[in-house]
Structure 1
Amino acid sequence: MSYTLGQLCDHVGGVLHGDGAKVIDRLATVKRAKSNELTFIANPKYVAALDTTEAGAVLVKNQSQANKVSNAIIVANPYLAFAKLTSLFNTSISLWTGIHVSAIVSENARLGENTIIGPNVVIENDVVLEDNVEISAGCVLGAHVSIGRNTKLKANVTIYHDVSIGEDCLIHSGAVIGADGFGFAQSPEAGGWQKIHQLGSVEIGNRVEVGANTTIDRGAIEDTRIGNGVIIDNQVQIAHNVEIGDNTAIAGCAAIAGSTIIGKNCTIAGGVGVIGHLNIVDNVHITAMSLVSKSITVPGSYSSGTGLDSTEKWRRSAARLRRIDEMAKTIAQLEKQINKLN
């Protein structure tokens, strides 16, 4: 795939600096880019790399940066412009069209135009696939699943019965959507636990991306709901009856327990744990490895846990942490004695 610098400039609505006929074959990092490749400078600490880069062209933020190289595209947000250009160089295209001979598709399924169904796919009764849906090899769609137009499922995705997925979504390999939530009642008669059958489903909005091996459980009675524009990384666990607001981003290995409601435009970093039955308002940002144990009612950034240190220092800090309650009592006693002296 090759484009002229002028074409790329038009695509991102930038200002051209240099040769608009320059041919660009690939995108690359600023350190490794060659003369046929385009890179970008988004972080100010990498501006110095413009003096040594071999890139054929660079996405930059201002004219002073552009003056350091022969060819550039000036844009307000180089990282966003780079993101837009990646779609032009994307090589993940389908290797087949239509319905593969090995696929099993129910006679009751309703398929839209330009549907692609790959090898060994199973589509059960009353599934509805809108136009331009792509179901890659090995996927299983349970009964009454509905998928909106232009949505793509990568290989080996499993969608349980009654799940609804909107338009322009991307579900990566190994994701499981609509499995039972973790619902059990203690019961001596049942030998310890009585299963609570999960009678709800999962409702996913438009423009949602779900990462590889992520699981989204169905609701116990009402549905688990994922809003429009939500992005979810790999290996995330979303439990039954969770609700996630529009445009929220959740990074890898986060886990959200049942019936928690997360607002719009939130970011949840990697390894975060959120306990159940909480409410988190819009525009909350939770840093990596935090444990959210109570509702958050005010927008802002939140953190918990302890930072990394050498093992020796960490052990000393941990030992002191265990003594905090004792130390607090001692300080309170000393304060009382000082108050008596005054």
Structure 2
Amino acid sequence: MTTLGEVAAAANARLQGCDATTVITGVAPLNGAESGQISFLTHPRYRPFLAHTQAAAVILSPEDAAYCPVPALVATNPHVAYARAAALFVPTTRSHGGIHPTAWVDPSAQVAASAWIGPQCTVEAGAVVGEGVCVGPNCVIGEQTVVGAETRLVAQVTLCHRVHIGRRVLVHPGAVIGSDGFGLALGPDGRWVKVPQLGGVWVGDDVEIGANTTIDRGALEDTVIEEGVKLDNQIQIAHNVRVGAHSALAGCVGIAGSARIGRHCMLGGGVGVAGHLEIADRVQVTGMSLVARSIAEPGAYSSGLAVEPNRLWNKISARLRRLDELFRRVAALEKISKNGSI
């Protein structure tokens, strides 16, 4: 049982017109909340629903509190407050310790007594699984891989050899960490020669890695994901990349080899980053942008063109093909002008 006072404490919010002993059973959107549920207002688009909400209380900003017809939990940052409050209602999966009969654990592996190794899992030679780790079904933990305390591998996660996973890391289904980087050298006979990938992957504490995301091992040094990084689904991080602490990367981001992403950066969905580039701290790159050169200053960056009606886009495309011709004509006219001919 969770009371409104406990929700307010977790959200670091101020109660307004509330009975702190009111029992809260869950969270719901403004237009669907019922008695016993809390709701939230984090975007102006949803203000019209506030006047008619049936929620037991609403998490919102001081500016919106005056218009709230029901009790409120007032917070400077309602989005963060909501995230902390909602965490109280997430079903928790805690390790109960033990190894499922269908799992295979190499005798040289070290598995803490409080860790759980689920059905059909494999833990290879020299691996270390820390206290309170939960390894879901069909996961593979490779040779000499370390999994830090309280980490959870949800299901079908593959950690290849010599991977280091920090504490309290959450890895969603299908993620592959430590597969070979795409290292190839073109020989004189036109055939590709594989460059051995001798490094590993180092993942810091409190990282979250989305479903089907892949992080390649380094060629010589480790690929590094620093503490607090949040990776969405289907992201590709190539060998020797370094992602700075507390950065967030949305779905389908692709980062080529040896790129460096700063701390507290945000990359929108589908962003591509070319290899061997450096992005400064606190950079935001909007969705579907291509980063083709290093970014030295913090701020927001974009590339590409937004969607347009097809007929208009065809005209724009035709004009884009003529840009080089137009540039040359303008340059020629400027040259004539400077010579005094016109």
TM bin (shorter chain): over 0.9
Q: Aligned in 2, Cα 1:193/1:64: closer, same or farther, shift over 3 Å?
A: closer
Tell whether the 8 Å contact from 1:249 to 1:267 is kept in structure 2 after alignment: yes
Q: Aligned in 2, Cα 1:91/1:66: closer, same or farther, shift over 3 Å?
A: farther
Tell whether the 8 Å contact from 1:66 to 1:72 is kept in structure 2 after alignment: no
Q: Once the 2 structures are TM-superposed, how far is the Cα of residue 261 of structure 1 from its aligned partner?
A: 0.8
Tell whether the 8 Å contact from 2:95 to 2:132 is kept in structure 1 after alignment: no
Q: 1:164-203, aligned counterparts within 5 Å?
A: 164-188=164-188, 192-203=191-202
Q: 1:87-166, aligned counterparts within 5 Å?
A: 87-93=87-93, 97-166=97-166
Greater alpha carbon shift after TM alignment, 174-183 vs 296-305: 296-305
Where do 5+ consecutive residues of structure 2 fail to align?
Answer: none
Q: Once the 2 structures are TM-superposed, how far is the Cα of residue 97 of structure 1 from its aligned partner?
A: 4.5
Q: Normalising by structure 2, what TM-score?
A: 0.95
Tell whether the 8 Å contact from 1:47 to 1:65 is kept in structure 2 after alignment: no
Query: In structure 1, how many angstroms separate the alpha carbons of the residues matched to 2:104 and 2:113?
Result: 18
Query: In structure 2, how many angstroms separate the alpha carbons of the residues matched to 1:76 and 1:152?
Result: 32
What residue identity is the alignment partner of 2:103?
A
Q: Aligned in 2, Cα 1:145/1:41: closer, same or farther, shift over 3 Å?
A: same
Give identity over the alignment, percent: 43
Greater alpha carbon shift after TM alignment, 191-200 vs 227-236: 191-200
Q: 1:286-301, aligned counterparts within 5 Å?
A: 286-301=285-300
Query: In structure 2, how many angstroms separate the alpha carbons of the residues matched to 1:66 and 1:11?
Result: 23
Query: In structure 1, how many angstroms separate the alpha carbons of the residues matched to 2:126 and 2:2?
Result: 44
Q: 1:1-342, aligned counterparts within 5 Å?
A: 2-17=1-16, 18-62=18-62, 65=65, 68-93=68-93, 97-188=97-188, 192-339=191-338, 340-341=340-341
Q: Once the 2 structures are TM-superposed, how far is the Cα of residue 188 of structure 1 from its aligned partner?
A: 4.7
Q: Once the 2 structures are TM-superposed, how far is the Cα of residue 37 of structure 1 from its aligned partner?
A: 1.2
Q: Once the 2 structures are TM-superposed, how far is the Cα of residue 341 of structure 1 from its aligned partner?
A: 4.7
Q: Once the 2 structures are TM-superposed, how far is the Cα of residue 271 of structure 1 from its aligned partner?
A: 0.2
Runs of 4+ in 1 over 4 A off after TM superposition: 94-97
Q: Once the 2 structures are TM-superposed, how far is the Cα of residue 47 of structure 1 from its aligned partner?
A: 2.6
Q: Normalising by structure 1, what TM-score?
A: 0.95
Q: Once the 2 structures are TM-superposed, how far is the Cα of residue 82 of structure 1 from its aligned partner?
A: 0.9
Q: Once the 2 structures are TM-superposed, how far is the Cα of residue 63 of structure 1 from its aligned partner?
A: 7.2
CA RMSD, aligned part only? 1.6
Tell whether the 8 Å contact from 1:256 to 1:273 is kept in structure 2 after alignment: yes
Greater alpha carbon shift after TM alignment, 8-17 vs 255-264: 8-17
Tell whether the 8 Å contact from 2:130 to 2:149 is kept in structure 1 after alignment: yes
Number of equivalenced pairs: 340
Greater alpha carbon shift after TM alignment, 32-41 vs 221-230: 32-41
What residue identity is the alignment partner of 1:255?
G
